[in-house]
Amino acid sequence: MQRGIGASSAGRGGRVYTVLQQAIVDQALPPGTRLPEDSIGAQFGVSRTIVRAALQRLAADGLVEMKVKRTATVARPSLEEARAVFEVRRCLEREVARLVAEKWNDGFAARLAAHIAEEQQAADGGDSKATVRLAAEFHVKLAGMSGNPLLVRYVTEVVSRCSLILSVFGRPHQSECAIGEHRTILEALAAGDAARAAAAMDHHVALVERRGVGGETAAEPDIGEILARYLPLAAVADA
Amino acid sequence: MQRGIGASSAGRGGRVYTVLQQAIVDQALPPGTRLPEDSIGAQFGVSRTIVRAALQRLAADGLVEMKVKRTATVARPSLEEARAVFEVRRCLEREVARLVAEKWNDGFAARLAAHIAEEQQAADGGDSKATVRLAAEFHVKLAGMSGNPLLVRYVTEVVSRCSLILSVFGRPHQSECAIGEHRTILEALAAGDAARAAAAMDHHVALVERRGVGGETAAEPDIGEILARYLPLAAVADA
DNA sequence: GGCGGAAATCCGGTATACTAGAAATGATGT
DNA sequence: ACATCATTTCTAGTATACCGGATTTCCGCC
C-alpha cells in the first residue's frame, strides 16, 4: 500500500493532484500555505496548465481555496464547515457499515484484520504520520467493500477533509482514530450485525469529531490572542 | 427562479458549466453526444481552456465522460452506476429530511408550499421540461434548508445524475416525481415528525428509482436484441 | 463491389505568451 | 516618523500554438 488515499486518473495531472493531496492531509502543507501555480509547476516539471487543473480538483474537494485573481492556498476550514463535513461523514459511513455488513465475506475479514494489524504496528513504532494515514485508509477501504464507487468517492473526499480539519482544530500529535474502535467495527461486521456495525461506526466518527473539533464553540484561531500569549516571551528576550 | 440547479462560481467558465449542465439534465444533449472543446468554445466565444475546465467539472460530477485522447461525451450511465447513485441518494436525502425536520420553521413551509404549487402549475400546463426541472429543484431546495453546504453539493450532484439516468432508462415523457409525494414529505415535515419525513423521502426516492430504472435487472440495452426486434420491419420494407 | 490500408483531418494534451489585477516595496510629503 | 501614494513584481486568467494520437475518408486491390 504505497499509494495514499486517492488513486488518480490522468498520468500527469494526476501525479500533481495526488502528491498535493497527500501533502495536505499529512499536514506537510499547513492550512493557509500559498500554492503558486508557477513554482509548483517548476517543482513537478510541468506547466501551469497541469497544476491549475490539479488545484481546481483539490478546490472541488474542499482541500484548497481558490478565490479569483488570488493565489490558491491550502484551505482553512471554519468550525461550521467542520461540523458540516462530520455530519455528512457520519451519514455516509453509517451507510457504508450497513452495506458492508450485507455483503460480508471472509475475504473482507482478512483484509481488514491485516489493515488493523498494520495500524497497530505503525502506532507501536511511533510513526504518527503513518498512523494517521492508515486510519484514513481504513475508512476508504471499508467504503470500497460497499461496492459502490460513488460512495467511495464521497467517503474519500470527506475523510480527507476531516484530516485537514483535525490539523486545524485538533490537538497536534494525537492519534485521531483509536485502533480499538476500528476493531470494534470489524467485530460487529464479522458478527453479521449490520445495525451494531452502523452504530459502532457512528459512535467512532462521533468520537473522532469530539477529539478533533471538541464539544465547545472553541472560537476561530484568534491571531491577536495568540500573539498576546507570546508577549511575555518577547519581554524575556528583550532583557 | 431562473437559474437551474447549480449556482456556479467563476463568471466565465461558470457560464459554460451551468449551460452545459442544464442542457444535459434537460436531455437537450442526450447521452453519448460528442462535446468537442473547439466547437463548444466557438459557441460560447471562449477558448478551449475555459471549456476544458467546465468539462472537467462536469466529468467530476459524473455528467460527462472524458477518456484520454477522446472527445468528451455526455455520460451514458450503466445500470450498476444507476443503482449506486440511487443508493447514495437515498442515504443523503434521508439525512436531509432528518435535518430539515430538526430546523423546521414557518418560512420553510411557505417556501416549499410555493414550490410545490409551481410544480403543480407546470404539470397542469403540460410543460414537461419545467416539471422535471422543478422536481429536481425541490430536492435541492430541501437540501439547502438543512444548512449544510456539503450536503447541498452532494445532493445537487446526485439529483443531476439521476435526471441523466432517467433519460437513459426511464420511459420518456413520464413525470419522475409525483407531486403528491412531495406533498407527503412536506406534510411530514410540517408535522414535525422527523422519522416520518425521512421515511417518506426514502419511499419517494425508491419510487423514483423504480419508475426510472425498473425493478428487474432489465439488462444493459443489448444492441443485438434491439436489432433483432427490427428484423421483421426490415422484411416488410423489402417487400 | 466490398474490404483493407494510407493519407488527410480532427481534436485533445500540454506548453507558453500576453494581459491585467493584486501584493509588496519603496518614495514622497506633511 | 508616519501615512499615503507610486512603482515594481508577482501571479492568475485566458488565448493560442504546437504536437501527436485518434478518426475518418478515400483509394486501390482482391
Domains and CATH numbers, chain B: 11-74 (1.10.10.10), 79-213 (1.20.120.530)
How many Cβ atoms sit within 10 Å of the Cβ of residue A159?
Answer: 24
What's residue B9's pLDDT? 58
How far, in Å, CA of A11 to CA of B89, rounded?
A: 31
Strand D footprint at Cβ < 7 Å? Answer: A 34-39, 48-49, 52, 66, 68-72; B 10-13, 45-50, 69-70
For chains A and B, count residue pairs whose Cβ atoms are closer than 8 Å: 59
CA distance A96 to chain B (A): 10
What's residue A81's pLDDT? 95
What's the pLDDT tens digit per position in A45-96? 999 999 999 999 999 999 999 999 999 999 999 999 999 999 999 999 999 9
Percentage of chain A lying above the pLDDT 90 cut: 72
> Quick check: A19 CB within 7 A of strand C?
no
What pLDDT band is residue A39 in, cutting at 50, 70 and 90? very high
What's the pLDDT tens digit per position in B166-211? 988 876 556 666 899 999 999 999 999 999 999 999 999 999 898 8
How far, in Å, CA of A103 to CA of A146, rounded?
A: 7
Query: In chain A, which residues have their Cβ closer than 8 Å to the Cβ of B150?
Result: 62, 81, 84-85, 87-88, 158
What's residue A213's pLDDT? 80
Chain D nucleotides reached by a protein CB under 7 Å? 10-17, 20-23
For residue B220, is pLDDT > 60? no
How many Cβ atoms sit within 10 Å of the Cβ of residue B157?
Answer: 23
Q: Which amino acid is at A31?
A: P
For residue A172, is pLDDT > 90? no
**Contact at CB, B91 and A92, closer than 8 angstroms:** yes
CA distance B13 to chain A (A): 12
For residue B3, is pLDDT > 70? no
Q: Which of A15-19, A83-87, B122-126, B169-173 is least confident?
A: B169-173
What pLDDT band is residue A237 in, cutting at 50, 70 and 90? very low
Q: Which one is predicted more confidently, A231 or B60?
A: B60
What's residue A169's pLDDT? 86
How far is CA A197 from each of CA A85, A96, A106, A108, A147, rounded to the nearest angstrom?
21, 9, 16, 14, 17
What's residue B10's pLDDT? 62
Q: Which amino acid is at A81?
A: E
Average pLDDT over residues A155-165: 96
B179: its cell numbers: 407531486
For residue B217, is pLDDT > 80? no
What pLDDT band is residue A236 in, cutting at 50, 70 and 90? very low
Q: Which of A91, A151, A202 to mutate to test the interface with B (most CBs of B within 10 A)?
A: A91
What pLDDT band is residue B239 in, cutting at 50, 70 and 90? very low
CA of A233 to C1' of D8 (A): 37
Centroid of chain to Cα B8: 17
**Contact at CB, B88 and A10, closer than 8 angstroms:** no
A160: its cell numbers: 480527507
Average pLDDT, chain A: 87
CA distance A127 to chain B (A): 32
For residue B144, is pLDDT > 80? yes
**Cα torsion at B55, B56, B58, B60 (round to 10°)?**
160
**Contact at CB, B88 and A53, closer than 8 angstroms:** no
What's the pLDDT tens digit per position in A89-119? 999 999 999 999 999 999 999 999 999 999 9
Percentage of chain A lying above the pLDDT 70 cut: 82
The Cα diameter of chain A in Å comes to 68
B193 contact partners, CB below 8 Å, separation of at least 6: B101
- C12 C1': nearest CA residue: B69
**Contact at CB, B149 and A81, closer than 8 angstroms:** yes
Query: In chain B, which residues have their Cβ closer than 8 Å to the Cβ of A149?
Result: 81, 84
Region of B214 please: left (phi>0), alpha (psi -120 to 50) or beta.
left
CA of B193 to C1' of D13 (A): 50
Contact criterion met (CB below 8 Å) for A142 and A112:
yes
> Quick check: A67 CB within 7 A of strand C?
no
How many Cβ atoms sit within 10 Å of the Cβ of residue B26?
Answer: 16
- Out of B10, B60, B68, closest to residue A10 by CB: B68
Q: Which of A128-137, B7-16, B42-51, B144-153 is least confident?
A: B7-16
Percentage of chain B lying above the pLDDT 90 cut: 72
